[in-house]
Structure 1
Amino acid sequence: MEQFGRIDVVLNNAGYGQLSSLEELTDDEARANFEGNVFGTLNVIRQVMPHLRQQQTGHILNLSSIAGITSSFPGWGIYCATKFAVEGLSESLAAEVAPFGINVTIVEPGYFRTEFLSSGSMRIPAGSMQEYALVRQSEAAHQKQIRGNLPRDPVKAAAAMIQIAKEPNPPLHLLLGQDAYDMAQWEALTVSTGSA
């Protein structure tokens, strides 16, 4: 506001992944993931809303994940819960701020070539339990095989978000990546059951 006198677009992208079974996760680990992924987003929204409301215009893009739509990934329960929370607060926010001319878009990417799977962006529990073989397999796969081998270009994702931010009637949900699109296809099946 001091530099430009207004805010046109807000992108909430802070957060990290927590990979652990629900049983082995401590309260502190679970709460920390919610603190960063959910309350971080909420805190930014609360700070920027007075400015956007006064302007009667603006666009908030909240980074969720395909994991905010579907959560059948062993070891990602708390992370998915944080992204489900981002989805819920964003949908409600969109309804609340529409009268002020403010748009909200929930960005739901799949895997992109970012630092998301690095040690600074993905945490594992302090007390791992070997009984959770599927969780340990997911952990090993994400740390050793998937990290560094992601096909999708984050520059293209950024370009898509910039394009959406310019739209006068942007979508509430923006899936990014073929994997995210494919995982969300159950919606197409739901729609196909409509009346004849």
Structure 2
Amino acid sequence: MSSPQQLVWFITGTTSKGLGGNLVSSALSRGDLVIATGRSQAKLDILFEKHGRSENLRVLQLDITSDPAVIKGVVNQAIGFWGRIDVAVNNAGNGELGIIEETDTSATRLQFETNFFGPLEITKAILPHMRSRKDGTIVFVGSRSSWTGETPGLAHYAASKAALHALADGLSAELAHLGIRVLLLAPGAFRTGIYSISTFHQENSLPDYDELRTSAIKRSSIDGKQPGDPTRAMEALVDVVRGEGVATGRKFPAIGTALLLGNDVEKDFYTKFDKMKATVMEWAHVVRGVWFPVDRN
């Protein structure tokens, strides 16, 4: 992708006070064109008014868990505005929290429908248009939770984000020869309001988990106190996509990697890496002792 130029952004999950809404503002401030989507038409209308009914902004109602045919229809409508989509940002998501044994599996399935299958269907709907132009950038908003799944109450959310990370890695390798870039973000704790819309399931509370559950619920009540600034994060994202600002002179993140956003993410990444490395070293005799013996003949 040649940058800078006027880009067309397609962004999901723009009606909350989180990353999506800030990204809309950041992209518009660079003179880019934006198609903002969300489940609530009323909130989309407020977003449109917030930006002065800008000629560079279009809004489309979209539930990313809809039938693939519905998603394709919305994507085609979006492309009809300016003839293309240069950057697709899979930002929409939700949080289904709870102790694993206490949480009904239906909640986990819902988590994956929103955080994994939704972005997958959005991407598959947009890819034919990007392939025809041999150009485009697909962004996935992952999470540091893919490295902190051992945190009680977070497993459902962490599992869905870990799956999304693997999907992004695979796509980045499969699309590179077509001129399509994939950028995986791993944000830390940002003041996005996600905990205010996340459900901590307690329908099947078991006494054995009382202490864990209490500490997990307390940990998830930090809304409004997170250290991450969503405005600065989305300014950085636009810089990276456009190859300007903080990204000037830097290579686009390599295939199979993630762009970490936040001091906490960096810490969690190295903590996970160090624990894995220590375990591999401790058990090296087992790790290396399970192949067939080498035939020297």
Work out whether the TM-score is over 0.5: yes
Q: Which residue of 1 aligns with 2:231?
A: 155
Aligned partners of 1:188 and 1:123: how far apart in 2? 30
Aligned residue number for residue 184 of structure 1: 269
Assess if the C-alpha contact under 8 Å between 1:130 and 1:136 holds in 2. no
- Separation of aligned partners in 2, 1:186 and 1:76: 17
CA drift of 1:169 comes to 4.4
| Cα separation, 1, equivalents of 2:270 and 2:226 | 21
Alignment partner of 2:94 out of 3, 13, 16? 16
* TM superposition shift of 1:77: 0.8
Deviations 1:65-122 (A, max 9, x none): 001233221111111110110011110000111111011111001100111111x2x1
Q: CA separation in 2, counterparts of 1:156 and 1:100?
A: 31
Q: Secondary structure at the match of 1:107?
A: strand
Partner deviation per Cα, 1:163-196 (whole Å, 9 max, x = no partner):
1111394214100010011111247755xx9xxx
Contact 2:152–2:213 (CA<8 Å) still a contact in 1? yes
Instruction: Encode CA deviations 1:126-170: one digit per residue, 9 max, x unaligned.
Output: 333343222321112312xx1111122100110111111113942
Query: Are the aligned partners of 1:8 and 1:59 in contact in 2 as well (CA < 8 Å)?
Result: yes
Corresponding residue for residue 163 of structure 2: 85
Work out which of the two has the higher radius of gyration on C-alpha atoms and give 1 or 2: 2
Aligned to 2:146: 68
Match of 1:128 in 2: 205
| Correspondence for 2:84 | 6
In structure 2, the CA distance between the partners of 1:188 and 1:131, relative to structure 1 (3 Å rule), is: closer
What TM-score comes out, normalization by structure 1 length?
0.89
Question: 1:25: Cα distance to partner?
Answer: 1.3
How many angstroms apart in 2 are the aligned matches of 1:59 and 1:128?
A: 44
For 2:267, give the aligned amino acid: D
1:164 aligns with 2:240: yes
Letter in 2 for 1:129: L
CA contact (8 A) 2:147 2:272 kept: no
Q: Which runs of 5+ in 2 are unaligned?
A: 1-78, 244-249, 282-297
Whole-Å separation in 1 of the counterparts to 2:238 and 2:136: 13
CA contact (8 A) 1:66 1:108 kept: yes
Name the % identity: 34
Who is 1:174 aligned against?
259
One-letter code of the match for 1:170?
F
Residue 32 of structure 1 corresponds to: 110
Q: Which amino acid in structure 1 is aligned with residue 208 of structure 2?
A: E
Counterpart position of 2:39: none
Moved over 2 A (4+): 126-131, 186-190
SS in 1 for 2:181: strand
1:68/1:86 contact within 8 Å kept: no
Question: Residues 175, 72 of structure 1: CA spacing in aligned structure 2 closer, same or farther, 3 A cutoff?
Answer: same
- TM-score of the pair, normalised by structure 2: 0.60
Q: Distance in 1 between matches of 2:171 and 2:207?
A: 41
Q: In 1, distance between residues paired with 2:125 and 2:266?
A: 32
Kept in 2: contact 1:20–1:75 (CA 8 A)? yes
**Match for residue 106 of structure 1?**
184
SS at structure 1 position matched to 2:220: helix
